[in-house]
């Protein structure tokens, strides 16, 4: 497991770290080789709380590129003009959205064609190795303390999503002054309906 950080001289905190795993490694590889893109823009998509905006900021800080965040909620003409400007300036642009077309319903034909010509960089749901790391990361932000086996226990029993990890950390804040045990975690997460039990009891 590795991490990317904002190269801005900031302290190494959870706010500036992006955890790398199989589910996002291909997107990072494509960002590292942005000079090979067929156009000077790419579409970076991923589920909520997946770190897509942070990854975009890391890319922009390292390359001098630009970001158009939440593009799927912006005016299509603004995204269209940003794409064209990137080609004119020869400066890479990351268009960040939750999903790619056709799930992102783009009405402007010229924008649809430009997005179709742009590389698609996807962040997927957390993989088996990344999920425990995300839980540990979220616990650090919430000042929650526990043992590795408790993290592993949680990872086997919650929904495999970035949002679920944050909800688990939020739910356990009520016991943040104590070292979390499996019985404590089970009681709290059962009460909030966050346990799926999909991978065993």
Same domain, 70 and 163: no
Looking at residue 145, which CATH number applies to its domain?
1.10.8.60
Same domain, 150 and 85: no
Provide the domain count of the chain. Answer: 2
Q: What is the pLDDT of residue 24?
A: 93
Query: Residue 201 domain-assigned?
Result: no
Q: What is the pLDDT of residue 133?
A: 94
Same domain, 109 and 135: no
35-74: per-residue pLDDT in tens? Answer: 999 999 999 999 999 999 999 999 999 999 999 999 999 9
What stretches in the chain show pLDDT beneath 70?
A: 1-16, 176-177, 197-201
Q: Which one of 72, 93, 122 terminates a domain?
A: 122
Query: Residue 199 domain-assigned?
Result: no
Query: Residue 22 domain-assigned?
Result: yes
Tell me the C-alpha distance between 45 and 123, whole Å: 6
Same domain, 141 and 167: yes
Segment (H or E) for 145: strand 145-146
Q: What is the pLDDT of residue 11?
A: 39
Query: Residue 28 domain-assigned?
Result: yes
Same domain, 42 and 8: yes
Backbone angles phi, psi at 193, to 5 degrees: 75, 25
DSSP class of 158: B
Q: What is the pLDDT of residue 4?
A: 60
Q: What is the pLDDT of residue 176?
A: 61
Domain with 150, as residue range(s), is 130-192
Longest dimension (CA), the chain: 59
Query: CA torsion, points 9, 14, 20, 23, in degrees to nearest 10?
Result: -140
Same domain, 99 and 134: no
Q: What is the pLDDT of residue 15?
A: 54
Tell me the C-alpha distance between 162 and 154, whole Å: 13
DSSP class of 161: S
Q: What is the pLDDT of residue 29?
A: 94
Same domain, 70 and 31: yes
Whether residue 82 contacts residue 96, with contact meaning beta carbons closer than 8 Å, is answered with no
Tell me the C-alpha distance between 24 and 123, whole Å: 5
Looking at residue 21, which CATH number applies to its domain?
3.40.50.300
Q: What is the pLDDT of residue 180?
A: 93
Q: Which one of 98, 122, 146 terminates a domain?
A: 122
Same domain, 112 and 154: no
Count of other CB atoms within 10 angstroms of residue 59: 26
Whether residue 94 contacts residue 84, with contact meaning beta carbons closer than 8 Å, is answered with no
Tell me the C-alpha distance between 92 and 65, whole Å: 5
């Amino acid at each position: 497991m590795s991490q990317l950080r904002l190269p801005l001289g900031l302290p190494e905190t959870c706010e500036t770290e992006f955890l790398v795993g199989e589910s996002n490694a291909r997107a990072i590889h494509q960002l590292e080789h942005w000079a090979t893109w067929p156009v000077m823009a790419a579409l970076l998509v991923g589920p909520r709380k997946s770190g897509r905006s942070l990854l975009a900021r890391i890319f922009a800080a390292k390359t001098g590129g630009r970001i158009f965040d939440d593009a799927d909620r912006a005016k299509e003409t603004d995204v269209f003009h940003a794409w064209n400007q990137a080609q004119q300036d020869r400066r890479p642009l990351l268009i960040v959205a939750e999903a790619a077309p056709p799930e992102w319903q783009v009405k402007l034909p010229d924008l649809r064609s430009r997005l179709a010509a742009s590389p698609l960089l996807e962040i997927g749901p957390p993989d088996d190795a990344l999920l425990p790391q995300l839980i540990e990361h979220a616990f650090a932000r919430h000042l929650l303390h526990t043992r590795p086996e408790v993290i592993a226990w949680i990872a086997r029993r919650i929904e495999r999503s970035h949002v679920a990890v944050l909800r688990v950390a939020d739910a356990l804040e009520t016991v943040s002054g104590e070292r979390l045990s499996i019985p404590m975690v089970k009681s709290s997460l059962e009460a909030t309906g966050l346990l799926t039990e999909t991978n065993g009891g």
